[in-house]
Amino acid sequence: MSFASRRRSGRFPRPTRKSTRIRRSRRQTRAWCSITAMKGCSSAPSSGSNTVTSWKPGSPPGPRSKQTIGARVLRGRHTRESNATMSKKSRISWLLVAPLLVLVTVGFLLPIGYTMVKAVENPEVTAALPRTAAVLDTWDGEGMPPEAAFDALVEDIRSSRSGLEFGAMTRRLNFELNGSRSVIMKTRRTVDALDAPYSESLPVEIAEWGDPEFWRLIKTNSNPVTASYLLRALDLQVTPGGSIERVPADRAIFLDLFMRTFWISIWVTVICAFLAYPTAYYISTLSDRAASYAMLLVLVPFWTSILVRTTAWFILLQTEGPVNMALVWSSIIDEPIQLIFTRFAVYVAMVHVLLPFQILPLYSVMKRQGPQYLRAAASLGAPPWRQFLSVYLPLTLPGVAAGAAMVFMLSVGFYVTPALVGGLQDQMVSYYIAFFTNQSINFGMVAALSLLLLVFTGAIILIAHRLIPNVGGAIRA
């Protein structure tokens, strides 16, 4: 006889609601006893009571408590084990990410922070002329300074003329006023022969010390923080009255320099995009074997340094170089033309160096696009040009944006290529950063130019992100 027929016949009666509660209570009690390991616990429920009115430690809970002690203990143990597991995984994750955080901090955040500090730091005058700076701090800048300023100046020059701070101070003042270095050096040579009072003998020996403007120069640059470098990088200056004005036209070079840098970078980016798009499309249509050989040709320039590739263009574009000879031989031109040291040479060399950075992201995006979208557009009656503009181009725009952002950010920092194949009017911001680092030794201007270049580049990227949404997604990718 089957189980169902036995139940229908009454040999196995259907369990009542009370018996179900009793069995559930027994299971809960056994679970609680196994967890707490209490001796003497009975698995039988209390005498038919359905609710727990009171509970004492050491006795099992009732059968119908809303939340039994066993469930609480199980939940607590599970929570502790889960927290311990998550804490262990979190520690492991932090250990894995720690090298990247150290690299970003040491190689990116600290240099940017140091650059921001150097762009406004001004310790040279105070370090070399501490007594003079203290006296001039109380001077209102009107007329000649007090006699104590002359005494402090002579004492400072005698005590610090052989230190490194003295040379840094002369360079700092000469940056603000051309000819200041020669005045300070002449004062150092004649300071031992001066007689007191110095307020009378010093202007007699060196006439510049009788000019209040020269003393105001020292007072202005005695502050530990200055905006002079940032203002000069924007072709601005502070007048004796404290207002800001444009520098004379013969000294205004940096705004044009930034405009030239971004103009060259934008044109290089546009040319790379137009050349890379058909190249990447052609490679994406090849078979896997042919595409691997084509990508090998694209990657070959990475095996040689930028200096070698730029030098090759320097040889090719010379007046007697192969390019001019080929143009003369083909009767396109009658005589060799000037190709080297021109803006054209800068464009050619920079495009050659940066073109692979545009091809690679474009190829990766085009390779993922199947032909089904174009077939669907064709089946709907779209002509080929409409298929490209409405279907294929929007699908590949993330690759264009990623490559363009990479090419632009690399091109704004180019130094070797414009320096070798470009003329004086083709140099970019990096050329003057190298000049202030190696020749002028003016690290304040180096920091100011670098900081402004970073800010302007970031602003252009943000504007492009607003105008072209795919740029932002490509950069995040």
Please state, in angstroms and rounded to a whole number, the distance separating the CA atoms of residues 317 and 427. 18
What are the φ and ψ backbone dihedral angles of 216, each rounded to 5 degrees?
Answer: -65, -30
pLDDT attached to residue 476: 47
Given its phi and psi angles, is residue 475 left (phi above 0), alpha (psi -120 to 50 degrees) or beta?
alpha
Q: What is the pLDDT of residues 410-469, one digit of tens each?
A: 999 999 999 999 998 999 999 999 999 998 889 999 999 999 999 999 898 888 777 765
User: Which pLDDT does position 41 carry in this prediction?
Assistant: 44
Spatial CA neighbour of 403 closest among 474, 458, 306: 474
Task: Output the six-digit token pair for 384.
Answer: 């080929």
Q: Which of 459, 388, 444, 429 is nearest to 115 (CA)?
A: 444
Choose between 297 and 64: higher pLDDT.
297
Backbone angles phi, psi at 380, to 5 degrees: -85, 0
Average pLDDT over residues 327-339: 91
pLDDT of residue 28: 57
pLDDT at 226 over 80: yes
Give yes or no for residue 290 having a pLDDT over 60: yes
Q: What is the pLDDT of residues 233-253, one digit of tens each?
A: 999 988 767 788 999 888 899
Query: Are the beta carbons of 367 and 317 closer than 8 angstroms?
Result: no
pLDDT surpassing 70 at residue 286: yes
CATH superfamily of domain region 254-476: MetI-like (1.10.3720.10)
| Amino acid, res. 331 | S
Q: Which of 203, 204, 169 is nearest to 185 (CA)?
A: 169
Alpha helix (H) ranges present in 37-146? 69-104, 110-120, 124-128, 130-136
Delimit the domains of the chain by residue range. Answer: 1-47+59-83, 124-226, 254-476
Average pLDDT, the chain: 83
Residue 389 DSSP code: I
- pTM over 0.85? The answer is no
Q: In 3D, which of 38, 93, 83, 86 has the Cα closest to residue 60?
A: 38
Residue, of 314 and 13, whose pLDDT is higher: 314
CB 399 within 8 A of CB 361: yes
Looking at residue 466, what is its pLDDT? 78
Per-residue pLDDT, 69: 56
Residue 344 has pLDDT above 90, yes or no: yes
Residue 76 CA to residue 84 CA, distance in Å, equals 12
Two structure tokens written together for 342: 């021109």
Q: Which long-range contacts (CB under 8 A, 24 or more apart) does 291-296 make?
A: 295/363
**Is the model's pLDDT at 358 over the cut of 90?**
yes
Task: Compute how many other C-beta atoms are within 10 angstroms of the C-beta atom of residue 462.
Answer: 12
pLDDT computed for residue 463 by the predictor: 83
Across the range 257-267, mean pLDDT stands at 96
